[in-house]
Amino acid sequence: MGLIYLALYKGKGRLFNRLIRLWTRSRYSHCEIVMPDGRWLSASAMDGGVRAKYIELNLAHWDLIPLPWANTNRIAHLFRQHAGKGYDWAGIFFSQLLASGLHSRRRMFCSEFCAAALGFDTSAQRFSPAMLGEVAHRINRLPFVQLAHSLPDRHEVRTPHG
């Protein structure tokens, strides 16, 4: 099983990207979950909502944060539940711009999808791409996460008789 990443978009993008960066006072305007099979999962305004696609990685436009603690099955299940849902324009306005937390249960925006996929369901709509990146960095710095990530894979453990 490969590693899952949080991809944070820092490229120039379109007017919408610039407005998100300006409002959140961040270098990031979009986020995606990168699965071990190479699919990028998110809710995209350009693509009309929750979708999976393959994106050619350009490190000038994306920062990647490894997520050794992320659960592949949970993410895949959440994606199956929400695939095809529309983009939550009202949610991004009320949750991010007005900070009211109001959002649609039938639609999602990028950081809401990614936060829910990573287990932050109850407050997923409150996350911006930058906030989600900061939380991922903080979790990665926890001693037990660092220890677990440094242990060999179960299949690599050698026994005295093996």
pLDDT digit string, tens, across residues 2-18:
899 999 999 988 888 88
Q: What tokens were used for 45?
A: 């305004």
CATH code at 5-152:
3.90.1720
Question: Among the residues of the chain, which ranges form H helices?
Answer: 15-24, 72-82, 89-91, 110-117, 129-140, 143-150
Q: What whole-number distance in Å separates Cα of residue 116 and Cα of residue 109?
A: 11
Q: If DSSP codes are grouped into helix, strand and coil, which group holds residue 94?
A: helix
Residue-wise pLDDT tens digits, 21-51: 888 889 999 999 999 999 999 999 899 999 9
pTM, two decimal places: 0.84
Phi-psi region of 51 (alpha: psi -120 to 50; beta: other; left: phi over 0): beta
| Residue boundaries of the structural domains of the chain | 5-152
> What is the model's pLDDT at position 99?
57
